[in-house]
Every structure is written in C-alpha cells, then in structure tokens.
Amino acid sequence: MARILTGIQSTGTPHLGNLLGAIRPAIDLAHQSDNESFLFIADMHSLTQVKDGATLRENTYAVAAAWLAFGLDTERTVFYRQSDVAEVTELAWYLNCFFPYQRLTLAHSFKDKADRLEDVNGGLFSYPMLMAADILLYDADFVPVGKDQLQHLEMTRDVASRFNHKMGETFVVPKEMIREETQLIPGLDGGKMSKSKGNTLNIFDEPSALKKRINKEIITDATPLEDPKDPDGAVVYNLYKLVATEAEADQMASALRAGGYGWGHAKKALLEAVVDGFAKERDEFNRWMSDKSALDAELAKGAERARAVAQPVLQRVREKIGF
Ligand code: ADP
Ligand code: TRP
C-alpha cells in the first residue's frame, strides 16, 4: 500500500475555483484508491506571508471546514494542521544542513515571491526545506502537486537522496503526482478565478451576499432582453454550466439563443443553482465554523495519527546524525 501525502495552503475561505478545481478532485482521489492518504493544512508555510494571529487561525479553520463540508472522510484520510506536529520543524533544520545554499538560491518560487512581496524573509528562502520535511517526515511515496510545485518536489527528492547517500538509507524518496489543471474555473470577470484578482464566487457566503456579487460583478453585454444571445461567450452561462445539471444548462443555452430571456434571468438562475446546489455544504461549513472546538478536536485526532508516524522517522534521523 502506498502513502499519498499533500499539503494545502491556508489562504482563506476556499472559492468555487478551489472547490471544483482542487478540493473535490482531491477528495475523490483520496476516497477512490486503497492507498493511505495524508492531507494537512500548511499553516507554518503561511506564516511566511501572514503576520496576524487571528487571520492565520481563522484561515486554517476556514480551509479545514471547507474540506470537511465537502465530505472529506477523516477516518480514511489523516487530516491535520502542520503546526500541530511541530516535529516537522526539527526535521526541516536537519534537511537545511544537508542542502546546498546555492541550490536554494535557484528556487523559482522564491525569486518570484522576492520580486512581488514586501516581506521577503528567511522563512520564504528555506520554504522548500520545510516542504521537504512535510513529505519526508511521513515516508510518503507519492505527492500530488500542481505544476508550480514541481521544483520543490525535485528539491525534496534531492535532499532525501543526499542524506541517504551521506548517512545511509533513511528516507523514502517520494515521487510527484502531477495534478493537471483538469478544469479551469472562470471568475466573475471572465478571467481565471483567483483570490488575488478579487473575482471569486464564494459559495459559502450568505445568499444575500452571493446575490449582490453575482448581480454586480458578472459582466454582460448590452443585448436587449428580447434579442438572441450567445451563451458560450457569457460568463454567467459558463459558471451556470459548472454548477447546474446538464439538462438545466442546455435549457438556459436554448433560452438565451431563442431570445426573450435576459441576462438578469440567467443571473437569477445562477444564484439559485449556487444557493440550492451547495446548500448542504454551506450548512456543514457554517456548522463547523460555529463550533471551533469540534474543528480543533477533528484536527487533533489527525495530528495524533500523524505524530505516530512522524516520531519514529525523526528518531531514525536523529540516530543517523549522531544525536
Ligand atoms: P488562488 O488563485 O485563489 O489564490 P490558490 O493558488 O490558493 O488559489 O489555489 C489553491 C488550489 O485551487 C490549487 O490547487 C489551484 O490549482 C486550485 N485553483 C485555484 N483557482 C482555480 C481555478 N480558477 N480553477 C481551477 N482550479 C483552481
Ligand atoms: N507549497 C505547497 C503549495 O504552495 C503547499 C505545501 C506545503 C505542500 N507542504 C507541502 C504540498 C508538502 C505538498 C507536499 O501549494
């Protein structure tokens, strides 16, 4: 049985793009295979950017609540918060000592962030070694990641091999599982939906807030209500297609093409599909968010299972090092 492990960033409440593009497929993968799966919220990595305790804590809760609301089975998946298994920082230090400084300076993600961000700290620089520790601490065999994380995975394999070579066989050298972007979810403005672009549809929002955003932010052309319209070029239809059934989407497409059906009608249908279609998930999300101690308990359970795997691995490393 192989062990699959991946980390998720805690950048705030997941939006429709995160949910359909990443969370739902990951849950399907975890539930389909007979592999063992580990999933954690990388809040220590978030600290490189977020320097506000309440925000960091709330973001982690929101991400955890979203995964749970979408049905992550925490019996089958070890689901935990990175900072709850602080052993990872000890391993990160060891790995840092086995990895050439020069190689870290070649990390694309660091260069990219150093150009963009104001707070360019040392944590950002050694980020890849904390990520390597996340993976090596659990003897993971496979790591599902997006293409942007490929170089971090190469560094993980590299540092594991270097350590094994110098100190004797210690780490499992993991393989990446590249997550193709199966489906790119458009944002309210038609570009890629992304937090950084402010064009997100936040399906956990209250219906009144959703209504406001859909009506205000989705751009439509000025075709009069009675005229025929092209569904395929319209954001409202493209989003509707993602959340409605196929029959409902066909119906909207025909109505738009026929004329006498306005963008306002389409927006109303989209709102209903989002409000009704995710009603169960919204309720679950709100239930978790209003009971943080239940969330903490769930994550603590995962951390305990994670630690049981991590501690013997760390012991193995300490012995090899000479501690
Ligand atoms: P954001 O761009 O909003 O900051 P992240 O970069 O935190 O989102 O992405 C988290 C996960 O969600 C990644 O796996 C990413 O591939 C996926 N994702 C984000 N936006 C979209 C989108 N518009 N369509 C499909 N998947 C997306
Ligand atoms: N760096 C990853 C990202 O930005 C998140 C992450 C942290 C991760 N640790 C990991 C992913 C370990 C996979 C394995 O998406």
What is the pLDDT, as a whole number, of residue 32? 81
What is the pLDDT, as a whole number, of residue 273? 98
> With a cut of 70, which residues of the chain have pLDDT below it?
182
Nearest CA to ligand 1 atom 13: 22
112 and 23 fall within a common domain:
yes
Distance (Å) from CA 102 to ligand 2 centroid:
22
Which CATH number do you get for residue 91? 3.40.50.620
Q: Which domain holds residue 233?
A: 205-277
What is the pLDDT, as a whole number, of residue 153? 98
- CB distance 249 to 242 below 8 Å: no
The tally of domains found in the chain comes to: 2
Would residue 285 count as lying in a domain? no
180 and 209 fall within a common domain:
no
20 and 52 fall within a common domain:
yes
The beta-strand segments (E) located in the chain are 3-8, 36-41, 77-81, 142-145, 175-178
Structure tokens at 120: 């360019």
What is the pLDDT, as a whole number, of residue 29? 85
What is the pLDDT, as a whole number, of residue 73? 96
240 and 106 fall within a common domain:
no
Quick one: which ligand is closest to 47's CA? 2
C-alpha distances in angstroms, 278 versus 12, 101, 205, 238? 19, 47, 11, 17
Distance (Å) from CA 151 to ligand 1 centroid:
18
45 and 122 fall within a common domain:
yes
**Ligand 2 pocket by C-beta < 6 Å: which residues?**
6-7, 9, 42, 45, 131, 134-135, 143, 145, 149
What is the pLDDT, as a whole number, of residue 183? 79
| Ligand 1 probe mutation, 18, 70, 179, most atoms within 8 A of CB | 18
107 and 180 fall within a common domain:
yes
138 and 272 fall within a common domain:
no
Looking at the CA of residue 184, tell me the nearest atom of ligand 1. Answer: 24
Spell out a b/e string for 191-225, using b for 16 or more CB atoms within 10 Å of the CB, else e.
eebebeeebbbbbbbeeeebbebbeeebeeeeeee
Mode of pairing for the β-strands spanning 175-178 and 36-41:
unpaired
C-alpha distances in angstroms, 15 versus 81, 234, 263, 284? 20, 20, 23, 15
Environment class of 75 (CB within 10 Å of its CB; exposed 0-12, middle 13-18, buried 19+): exposed
What is the pLDDT, as a whole number, of residue 180? 77
Which of 149, 195, 203 lies closest to 176 in space, CA to CA?
A: 149
Distance (Å) from CA 18 to ligand 1 centroid:
5
Quick one: which ligand is closest to 186's CA? 1
73 and 147 fall within a common domain:
yes
- CB distance 174 to 207 below 8 Å: no
The number of CA neighbours under 13 Å toward the Cβ of 228 is 6
Would residue 303 count as lying in a domain? yes
Distance (Å) from CA 8 to ligand 2 centroid:
6
Which of 87, 88, 40 lies closest to 64 in space, CA to CA?
A: 40
pTM: 0.95
